[in-house]
Structure 1
Amino acid sequence: MEDVADPALSRGRTIDFKTNINLTARQIQETEHLFQDWEGGPLAHLTRLSIPNQSAYPGFKFSARGHLFDGLLSVKVYCDSLAGTSGNYLDQDPVVADLVTSGRIVFTGKEGSHTVTPGRICIRDTKASWEFSCAPATHVRVVRIPRHLVFSRIGSTRVLNQAYLSDVTAPEVRFLVNFLESIEKSSTELERSTSAQSIALDACATVFSGMLSDSSVSGIQDHPNATVRAAKNVIERNLDRNDLSPALIAQMVGVSLRTLHRSFAESDDSIMAFARRRRLEKAHGELVRMGSTAKVSEIAARWQFSDASHFIRQFKAFYGATPAAYLRNYGSAGRTS
């Protein structure tokens, strides 16, 4: 295990933060306190950590790299399967944002459970304490900021009891990501100027407080376009699953089933109509690519159509011809062009 960063040393200056853990299955079984080096460090809000038994073989990897200054931590993390608690019910527990790029993290608190999938962000006050579980091979950008800086701008603990969830395409999330990238590129300037550090810290606290305040009266629950975008992203990544359903999609997006249906009611598609169309388009691409070697029954099964005849009917209704006739016409068009 390697850990480079001491919060006391970071005051007044910018430092690189780097942590690496690489454990074999034997080390996991024989070591009692795997994460004790994190106590008192930038990741001290993570407690009661455990590696699920089913994920212990062949080992466990965790890495984080980024920057830390004056309590603001911004790191890119890779984590294998891990479970624990985020927060200690203490005033000094930070406000934390997790922007997932691959894998999945589930946070469960008093206000409910939230599943953060690729392309989603979750911002929460860790004083409220959240149980979490991280899927294997998860990549996530973690941003941590002192709680008092956010609280002073909101002034309401009720707001901080809730989590902010959104899609990465939301304007405020894009602004946050761009802002963090600019901080990383300006680490040398921040190292030289405490006033620049103060400005960056204040700006980040303002962005966080604004997003959390909005979540108390709006957020993704009441933004149909954001919910639909997030749901479509989930559907795209899970088209080959035979258990894909509105309930599963709602769970993975982090909204109620009722909210999901209500959001799609304001769009041109129903939830599963969009999924069927995308499956047809994927099957169509595969059919054209394979040409005469294509096996309709295999394509139908791969894209979760109940049987070949059902797939043929759906294909004809959408493309105006059966798969076989479509391929003949497609081949003829290719030869005459």
Structure 2
Amino acid sequence: MRSEVPQNSANPSSDYGHATNYASIMNLTPQQIHESVRPFAEWEGGPFAHLTGLEIPQPNAAHGFNFSANGHLFDDLLSAEVYCDSLTGISGRGEGQDPIVADLVTAGSLRFSGKAGESTVEPGQICIRDTNMPWKFSCAPGTRIRVVTVPRPLLVSRIGSAKVFNHAYVADVKTPEVRFLTNFLEVVERSSADLDRSTSARNLALSACTALFSEILSQHPDATLSDYPQTALEVARNVIEKNLERSDLSPVVVAHMAGVSLRTLQRSFAESNDSIMAFVRRNRLQRAHDDLIRLGSAARVSEIAARWHFSDASHFIRTFKSAYGASPAAYLRAYGNPGAQAQVSTHSEGEAPAGA
């Protein structure tokens, strides 16, 4: 189900708490800002309900105000890409049901101040805070954020003490635990259709995200991953699939990009009766196959082999034939490519078709 949001509305049309796709849009002209008594009233009751006392500061209001949030809302877990113009207010109402919020800034900046001190979150940083504790905040014009919210009671019960939330947690996105969190959120978003159909899958995603937050705050991320080997596996697979063209893709590189230890990575694959590099090779072969079909008679085996890091064209042909039962040229002819004689050469024009 896709949330369709009218202009100047900050509330998705889908039922809060059940939608898969979440979208919220607000475009206000200077006149609308001036005439509206409560321009943010429609946020009440939604995932941004913990924001109160909102104001668009002058002179920024003279240029209008734009806000958009696009992402996924699974029960009480929100993950959304947010764009926001200059805005000030209070994050947190001092109520137990307000969420734990993580803001990963990619452009602009956020400033928070409260009893626990002040924090400035710049691009490339993440801030995790408890909105049960009110924070004054200001958002710079043109700020872009990945916002993640999880239910406070779940996180407090897992950690066992609310003292860890006495201060805002600010960290660089390059830290392993934050890298793993961002990769995990990508997996969640890619699995949105499955999560929409399965309550148990949604509960697992919420539980895993809550566990990651708790271990980020306690700075022991690998302790959580041992409880969620499938989560670590899916994160690693997602990282591999995004980086198949890298020539240096190795278990050490994958572990670094995923934000896990090499031992955790190897254990996760072992429990699935697979290996890291076997998964890499299968996916590279699949990409090579897709290139072959897409290019048709214009395909050159040597170029495809080089792109997907086979040692040479002959190695690619042998691997392809073992997997698909025919050489690339024969496979392309059998696939029904017009012309019957697929001109798939290994090096240059005039050579014999590969696998002939």
Match of 1:120 among 114, 120, 125: 125
Q: Is the 8 A contact 2:11 2:43 kept in 1?
A: no
Residue in structure 2 matched with residue 2 of structure 1 by the alignment: 9
Q: Secondary structure at the match of 1:128?
A: coil
Q: How does 1:317-332 map to 2 (within 5 A)?
A: none
Residue in structure 2 matched with residue 227 of structure 1 by the alignment: none
Residue in structure 1 matched with residue 164 of structure 2 by the alignment: 159
The CA deviation string for residues 13-59 of structure 1, in whole angstroms up to 9 with x for no partner, is 44211111111111111111010000111110111100001211221
Residue in structure 2 matched with residue 260 of structure 1 by the alignment: none
Residue in structure 1 matched with residue 136 of structure 2 by the alignment: 131
Q: How does 1:1-337 map to 2 (within 5 A)?
A: 1-5=8-12, 9-11=15-17, 13-214=18-219
**Alpha-carbon distance in 2 for matches of 1:22, 1:207:** 34
Change (3 A) 1:24 1:6: closer
Residue in structure 2 matched with residue 245 of structure 1 by the alignment: none
Q: Secondary structure at the match of 2:174?
A: coil
How many residues matched? 213
**Alpha-carbon distance in 1 for matches of 2:10, 2:29:** 18
**Alpha-carbon distance in 2 for matches of 1:85, 1:160:** 17
Normalised TM-score (structure 1): 0.61
Q: Is the 8 A contact 1:164 1:211 kept in 2?
A: no
What is the Cα deviation at residue 2 of structure 1?
A: 2.7
What is the Cα deviation at residue 6 of structure 1?
A: 6.9
**Alpha-carbon distance in 2 for matches of 1:61, 1:129:** 24
Q: Is the 8 A contact 2:164 2:217 kept in 1?
A: yes
Gaps in structure 2 of 5+ consecutive residues: 1-7, 221-356
**Alpha-carbon distance in 2 for matches of 1:209, 1:110:** 22
Q: Is the 8 A contact 1:28 1:34 kept in 2?
A: yes
The CA deviation string for residues 286-309 of structure 1, in whole angstroms up to 9 with x for no partner, is xxxxxxxxxxxxxxxxxxxxxxxx
**Alpha-carbon distance in 1 for matches of 2:136, 2:218:** 23
The CA deviation string for residues 68-112 of structure 1, in whole angstroms up to 9 with x for no partner, is 011000010000000000110000010000000000000111111
**Alpha-carbon distance in 2 for matches of 1:58, 1:105:** 20
**Alpha-carbon distance in 1 for matches of 2:87, 2:172:** 24
Tell me: higher relative CO, structure 1 or 2? Use CA pairs within 8 A at least 6 residues apart. Answer: 1
The CA deviation string for residues 96-133 of structure 1, in whole angstroms up to 9 with x for no partner, is 00000000000111111000000000001100111100
Q: Secondary structure at the match of 1:34?
A: coil
Q: Which amino acid aligns with 2:25?
A: N
**Alpha-carbon distance in 2 for matches of 1:91, 1:42:** 15
**Alpha-carbon distance in 2 for matches of 1:77, 1:153:** 28
The CA deviation string for residues 265-292 of structure 1, in whole angstroms up to 9 with x for no partner, is xxxxxxxxxxxxxxxxxxxxxxxxxxxx
**Alpha-carbon distance in 1 for matches of 2:189, 2:10:** 19
Percent identical pairs in the alignment equals 55
Q: Is the 8 A contact 1:163 1:212 kept in 2?
A: no
**Alpha-carbon distance in 2 for matches of 1:210, 1:6:** 34
Q: Is the 8 A contact 1:2 1:18 kept in 2?
A: no
What is the Cα deviation at residue 214 of structure 1?
A: 3.3
Normalised TM-score (structure 2): 0.58
Change (3 A) 1:6 1:155: farther
Residue in structure 1 matched with residue 302 of structure 2 by the alignment: none
Change (3 A) 1:126 1:93: same
The CA deviation string for residues 206-254 of structure 1, in whole angstroms up to 9 with x for no partner, is 0111122239xxxxxxxxxxxxxxxxxxxxxxxxxxxxxxxxxxxxxxx
Q: Which amino acid aligns with 2:199?
A: T
Looking at CA atoms only, which structure, 1 or 2, has the larger radius of gyration?
2
What is the Cα deviation at residue 3 of structure 1?
A: 4.0
Q: Which has the higher helix share?
A: 1
Change (3 A) 1:6 1:146: farther
Moved >3 Å (runs of 4+): 3-7
